[in-house]
Chain A
């Protein structure tokens, strides 16, 4: 039997029926209840910076409120990526610094205690290195936000989605590339770092995340999970064709 990928099912089902096919945990993760950035306080961002970062990252990794075809698929807004970035930029403003989560376990795979929530002390070399890097990053964010505003004629969040996309695609001062990299971290890293709210990022890509102390059974390691056919189309087909034609 051929398993049809869920994405194709969604396409065939049409927009109206989408919500019926979406797993409930994703629907919950798509709620906007916890994404009112401007109402929250931040370590580093002022309210306007937070708003610009929120809107820009929502264009880079859109959720259902940012791109209707992403119905059922939470994005940066739902995963609380802005909070992740603010936490990272202000990592040394709290003690212990929010740089390295602890271990060995979170409470997601069989442990009652979330050791990862207890962040680790840094060595003197790490304090030096992170101070330097975060100082530089905070300056890049300040300038990056200004660059986005400038290209938007003064206020980035107030322009249309298409206009935002066009501005971001220009990658002013390399800020889109920087922001995208951090949005990726906020989307798909462990929630202890401030993003991936409700595991929205991991659920969307069928990623289990940390797995200790439960681990996997020997059978889960050795045997196939069964067929799961990916039918290339759209961007996936383009990627495969790129890899086929230009060996890297």
Chain B
């Protein structure tokens, strides 16, 4: 008899799980809480309603509605809670990969063996992953082929990138066109001794698997691709559907049903809030770090050591902005940005060990920096709206506003750089169920309690000035840095809701049930046929965009257990 597998979530982890299970002969159903904005996903080239529309995304299209499906954020258990959009990733078929600009770096050797290779950090729960870089490499290669990564490994710097993430085989596509602004900032990086390179990204530089090459429209990060030159999780999802899997959009799984050490099935609500049940031999959770942790708690899954939802991690996105007066940088064209530096992800970056020591830490890291990016007009206009309140309080509108819009200082003359800082796992940072706030369905929403540790604060303080330094070297007339993580040093970020959209942890993998929620295959320690296949299994966060690693990890895990489940 065919075994039934139910997958919760159609993002990068769930789609890979569905593909492997459908190919292994399981009868697979994928549940997606959000809507499906694609026509026939098994067709050669599906249609979509994603578009170059800033207001639509501003109005949270394809994200959780901030008042019907809010979350709660507190910067500490004592802080007053904020209710609304918190770490709001796309809630739609394809999940987070619908909106990404598809940067696909690999994690480093030291990310997988952090405890063994770098050692413990006070207060943080540093552990090794159940596998090392060498073991996951072939899975990285398979995902890179599947989603179509463009890049030239011959251009990656040996130090630090290839030393920590060695590559044997070329990527399936050559890089697309470099962006002018990324080139300008790369030149600045070189002048101050850093190592910029064309970043690998899952965006077509030629026709690939029947999908067109990217035509540089520029509405990339934060926008669904109107022509599917960028496919992400839809690649494995389409494979799953072609192998017989079923996709149910607008269907929210609200409870995992259990009996002893077994999961028996699940309950879900349709768009009219009508409850349905399904039985299954296997259930895979892949709703993302926050929603998987929430579902585990909504389902009262066994948790004898109070671990579920703890050690949630968000990369901190501290930014630098440079303003260039001599020319317009047309940052709005192309793939958001095309170049990165990895230097700040290196714990041995010059001066970093000393600065860590001064802060009482054995070491710290930040992460990669994305070189390029800017604001579109609505965001730009809102920036001026804020600025005019400071500059002209007696009349913060009118001609001054329009002059600023025409100057384009904060759009066409702006070049941003974004640091993706590693966030360590802390037991106090957690997702649990809010005691009072309910979503429109009447279910308790996820409450996130999160604050940075000494490592994040010290690393941010050390690297923020570097963002200004590299922008100045690139020729910026004015360069400022903007702290992302809360800190008394940077009052503007105090109690700020993190907005990084890189969410990890909550159901970490490990061998010991007293310190981890899932085993080395992502199987729940106390439920033999419940698996987790999203970023919530990450024991540590790394300092690079996590999606490729979410997909490669899911591919490794599910491939290994699918034969035995």
Residues of A in contact with B (beta carbons under 8 Å apart): 7, 59-62, 67, 69-70, 73, 75, 99-106, 109, 115-116, 120, 123-126, 128-130, 132-133, 165, 168-169, 176-177, 180-181, 184-185, 187-190, 193, 201-202, 204-207, 209-232, 234-236, 238-240, 242-244, 247-248
Contact = CB atoms under 8 A, between A and B. Distances in A.
B87 interface: no
Given A210-B219, A222-B179, A240-B477, A102 B51 contact: yes
B132 interface: no
A236 B51 CA distance: 32
Contact of B69 (A125, A216, A242): A125
Contacts of A128: 65, 67-68, 440
A103 B49 contact: yes
21 contacts: A59-B397, A60-B398, A62-B399, A100-B56, A100-B59, A102-B49, A103-B53, A104-B226, A124-B271, A124-B272, A188-B377, A188-B378, A189-B378, A193-B55, A210-B219, A216-B217, A219-B177, A222-B177, A227-B327, A235-B400, A240-B477
B514 interface: no
Interface string B211-242: 00011111100000011000000000000000
A193 B56 CA distance: 10
Interface string B44-70: 000111111111101101001111110
Given A165-B398, A204-B406, A216 B216 contact: yes
Given A213-B227, A221-B334, A103 B48 contact: yes
B218 A216 contact: yes
A218 B394 CA distance: 46
B382 interface: yes
A190 B55 contact: yes
Interface in B406-431: 406-409, 411-413
Interface of B is mostly: loop
Contact of A132 (B68, B179, B333, B392): B68
B408 A205 contact: yes
Residue among B273, B399, B402 with most chain A CB within 10 A? B402
A131 B179 CA distance: 42
Nearest to B399: A67
B180 interface: yes
Given A185-B378, A216-B218, 8 more contacts: A7-B403, A61-B398, A100-B56, A102-B51, A181-B382, A210-B51, A225-B327, A230-B413
B270 to A, nearest CB: 9
Given A180-B397, A248-B480, A126 B48 contact: no
Contacts of A232: 325
Contacts of B399: 62, 67, 69-70
B52 A212 contact: yes
Contacts of B439: 125
A132 B67 contact: yes
Interface of B: 34-35, 47-56, 58-59, 61, 64-69, 176-180, 183, 214-219, 226-227, 250, 271-273, 323, 325-328, 330, 333-334, 377-378, 381-382, 384-385, 387-388, 390-409, 411-413, 439-440, 477-478, 480-482, 492
A214 B215 contact: yes
Contacts of B393: 169
A133 B67 contact: yes
Nearest to B184: A224
Contact of B226 (A125, A213, A223): A213
Given A185-B378, A188-B381, A216-B333, A224 B180 contact: yes
Nearest to A186: B55
Nearest to B482: A248
Given A116-B53, A188-B381, A230-B407, A235 B392 contact: yes
A100 B407 CA distance: 30
Given A187-B381, A226-B327, A125 B227 contact: no
A120 B227 CA distance: 18
B227 A212 contact: yes
A105 B51 contact: yes
B398 A59 contact: yes
Contacts of A235: 388, 391-392, 400, 403-404
A189 to B, nearest CB: 4
A214 B477 CA distance: 33
B215 A215 contact: yes
Nearest to B214: A215
B489 to A, nearest CB: 11
B68 to A, nearest CB: 4
Contacts of A193: 55
Given A212-B227, A217-B216, A220-B216, A240 B382 contact: no
B327 A115 contact: no
B398 A242 contact: no
Contacts of B382: 181, 184
A100 B394 CA distance: 36
Contacts of A103: 48-51, 53, 226
Contacts of A206: 406, 408, 412
Given A104-B48, A230-B413, A248-B492, A181 B385 contact: yes
Nearest to B62: A100
Given A216-B215, A221-B333, A223-B180, A126 B65 contact: yes
Residue among A102, A207, A219 with most chain B CB within 10 A? A207
A125 B440 contact: yes
A221 B481 contact: no
B456 to A, nearest CB: 19
B403 A236 contact: yes
A123 B67 contact: no
B328 A185 contact: no
- The 7 A-B residue pairs whose C-beta atoms are closest, nearest first, are A215-B215, A103-B51, A129-B65, A210-B52, A104-B226, A129-B68, A189-B55
A2 to B, nearest CB: 9
A60 B397 contact: yes
B53 A220 contact: no
Given A100-B56, A124-B273, A222-B177, A236 B404 contact: yes
Contacts of A60: 397-398, 401
A185 B215 contact: no
Residue among A125, A128, A228, A248 with most chain B CB within 10 A? A125
A67 B377 contact: no
A185 B398 CA distance: 15
A243 B330 CA distance: 21
Contact of B218 (A116, A211, A217): A211
A36 to B, nearest CB: 23
Nearest to B410: A239
Contact of A101 (B53, B177, B226, B477): B53
Given A104-B50, A240-B323, A207 B56 contact: no
A234 B404 CA distance: 10
Nearest to A217: B216
Contacts of B492: 248
Given A169-B394, A221-B333, A129 B481 contact: no
A226 to B, nearest CB: 7
A212 B47 CA distance: 14
